[in-house]
Amino acid sequence: MLSALSVPVLQLLTWVVDETPEPKDVKAGWTALIVFLLLIAAVVVLAFSFVKQLRKTEAARKAGVFGPEDMDDETGSDSAGDTSSEPRQGA
């Protein structure tokens, strides 16, 4: 019972005692700006690297490195067998 009562009391005490800073005392620092800009630069570098790896993978796929191609480039359907549910014309 004591612990169930102590949490609200501690929250109320913290709210009363804890002072919030004045708006004139709070300002963004140069360190945060530099960290933010470095994070943006890291995302840009990762994006360029990702595009480069995708191009290399596409070139390797076209060269047949991954084995024979079983999928059509345009439709994405299996070219080895007809898996559609439509009846075949002329069969």
DSSP 48-82: HHHHHHHHHHHHHHHHTTT-S--B-TTT-SBSSS-
**Whole-model pTM?**
0.49
Q: Which residue has the higher pLDDT, 21 or 74?
A: 21
What is the model's pLDDT at position 52?
98
Number of structural domains (the chain) is 1
Q: Is residue 1 part of a domain?
A: no
Q: Is residue 18 part of a domain?
A: no
What is the model's pLDDT at position 18?
80
pLDDT exceeds 60 at position 49? yes
Residue-range definition of the domain harbouring residue 49: 28-63
The answer to whether 31 and 38 have CB atoms below 8 angstroms apart is no
Q: Is residue 90 part of a domain?
A: no
Q: Is residue 76 part of a domain?
A: no
Q: Is residue 72 part of a domain?
A: no
Q: Is residue 6 part of a domain?
A: no
Q: Is residue 16 part of a domain?
A: no
What is the model's pLDDT at position 75?
54
